[in-house]
Every structure is written in structure tokens, then in C-alpha cells.
């Protein structure tokens, strides 16, 4: 693998990386803590997990050495890891990832996945302690992992890294907000839960008010309906009574007319 050969030929002061002998998709790396920070005396070891689609998809980054900035044995959320494939470019490689990680050390975690915000004292203590750490997998000793002779100039050049990796801007700046998407999603989730809770309370109060209004109006509606039904019933009874009285009178008149007609016919027959 070309990257492995190139990194093996480098004897850098800031970083080192190599793939495992039995798995070319897993690399182990060591980076030196950035100068003039709480991590300056530290040497930090970790794993880089390459996807099958690498370099077209970003790797995952996992730290193994206690450092006070990143959680251990956890995939960390950075703009050069699998959490943000939208930022990744196939032209980047392992070296770009290592340089970016060194640049992220002095930044604030702000609740990002895999991030920590230990005190300065604790970070300095862990930095000194990291020199004696030995990787249980690749057996690399931190005291021998990197060169002890600092170069005349740093091997990290600003033009070698994407701009968004070199700057750590406040949250209100758009570029930083995008690179801290994991944090924003957590905040958005909390705000959504709080908003839902508030909405639920408002809806409950509205339902209570509506229920009270319904309880108040139901008796009145019942009274009105009872009055209306009573009036309709009275009118129906009156109609039935009138109909009952008119039918006998009409029948009597009909019978009387028929009787008179029969008498007239009989009289006419005999008279003739």
C-alpha cells in the first residue's frame, strides 16, 4: 500500500502510523501533543479504521491512550471522520487525518461525540503519564514511537490542511457550526424535547379549559333540547287530537248523506 510505504519512510517528530500485519484496513497511529498546549508532553496512540470504500469514504478514529480530550475506545466525531462524510475528499489520506487530529487537540469538545473537557492539570498529568504507555495490540511503546529530536521547522504546514481543519471558530460562525454538527444535533434534540414538553403542557391546559367549557354548556344544551322536544311533542299531540275529532264528524256526514240518498231513491221508486 502506497500510503504505508510513504509513512514508513518518514521519520517525523509529530506523528507515525502503520497498518496491522493481519488487517490493512486497521491502522495504529501515534501523535505528539501540540506545542504550547496542555498536551505538549504527551504521546497519544489510537486506531484508524478504514472503510472498504476508502479513500472515497472517510475513516473512523479511536483513541487508546488516556488524554483528557477524546474518549477511549469510542469513535470520535470530527470533520475528518465517518460522522461527516460530506466534508471528506478522496485526495486526503492518513497523513491528513493525523495532522488534523493534532490540530483538534487544543479545541473545546463542546459536547461532541467522543469529546472530553478535562481540566488543564489533569490533561498535563495524563500527558506525562502517556510516555510510559504501551499498546497491547501492536506492542508499540510511546517512548520509542516518535523521534526525540525536534525539526528546525514543524512538519505541519498550514497549506497542507483544509481551512476548516486549521481554524476553530465560535459556534455562531457558519463554518464552525457545520463542523460541530454532532453538538448542534444534540442541542436541537434537547430543544425539541423541551418544546414538545411545553406544547404538551399548553395543550393539556387548553384541553382542561375546553372540558370545563363543555361541562358548562352540556346542561344548557340538554335543557334547550328538552324544551324543544317538549314543544314538538305538544304540537304532535294537538295535531293528533284535532285529527281524532275531525274524522268522526266527516264519517257522520257521509253516513247521513248516504241514508238520505237511499230514502230518496226508495221514495222515487214507489211514487213512480
Q: Please, which residues have CB within 8 angstroms of residue 1's CB and are 6 or more apart in sequence?
A: 19, 24
Name the residue among 41, 22, 21 with its Cα closest to residue 31. 41
Report the alpha-carbon distance of residue 255 to residue 261 in Å, rounded: 10
The three grid cell numbers given for residue 255, joined into one nine-digit string: 253516513
Q: Show the beta-strand stretches assigned E in the chain.
A: 15-20, 23-32, 43-49, 60-63
The residues that are catalytic are: 77
Residues pairing with 60 in the sheet: 49
The three grid cell numbers given for residue 216, joined into one nine-digit string: 358548562
DSSP state of 33: P
For residue 17, how far is the Cα from the chain centroid? 35
Amino acid at each position: 500500500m502506497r500510503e504505508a510505504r510513504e509513512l514508513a519512510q518518514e521519520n517525523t517528530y509529530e506523528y507515525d502510523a502503520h497498518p496491522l500485519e493481519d488487517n490493512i484496513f486497521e491502522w495504529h497511529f501515534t501523535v505528539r501533543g501540540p506545542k504550547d498546549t496542555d498536551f505538549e508532553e504527551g504521546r497519544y496512540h489510537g486506531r484508524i479504521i478504514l472503510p472498504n470504500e476508502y479513500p472515497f469514504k472517510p475513516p473512523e478514529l479511536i483513541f487508546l491512550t488516556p488524554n483528557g480530550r477524546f474518549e477511549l475506545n469510542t469513535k470520535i466525531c470530527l470533520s475528518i471522520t465517518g460522522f461527516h462524510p460530506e466534508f471528506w475528499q478522496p485526495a486526503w489520506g492518513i497523513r491528513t487525518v493525523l495532522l488534523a487530529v493534532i490540530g483538534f487537540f487544543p479545541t473545546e469538545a463542546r459536547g461532541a461525540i467522543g469529546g472530553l473537557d478535562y481540566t488543564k492539570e489533569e490533561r498535563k498529568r495524563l500527558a506525562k503519564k502517556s510516555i510510559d504507555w504501551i499498546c497491547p495490540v501492536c506492542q508499540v511503546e510511546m517512548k520509542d514511537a516518535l523521534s526525540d529530536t525536534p525539526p528546525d521547522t514543524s512538519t505541519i504546514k498550514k497549506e497542507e490542511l483544509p481551512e476548516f481543519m486549521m481554524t476553530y471558530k465560535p459556534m455562531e460562525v457558519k463554518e464552525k457550526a457545520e463542523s460541530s454538527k454532532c453538538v448542534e444535533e444534540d442541542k436541537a434534540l434537547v430543544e425539541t424535547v423541551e418544546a414538545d414538553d411545553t406544547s404538551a403542557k399548553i395543550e393539556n391546559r387548553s384541553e382542561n379549559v375546553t372540558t370545563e367549557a363543555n361541562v358548562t354548556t352540556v346542561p344548557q344544551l340538554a335543557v334547550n333540547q328538552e324544551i324543544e322536544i317538549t314543544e314538538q311533542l305538544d304540537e304532535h299531540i294537538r295535531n293528533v287530537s284535532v285529527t281524532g275529532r275531525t274524522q268522526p264528524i266527516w264519517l257522520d256526514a257521509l253516513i247521513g248523506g248516504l241514508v238520505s240518498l237511499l230514502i230518496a231513491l226508495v221514495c222515487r221508486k214507489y211514487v213512480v
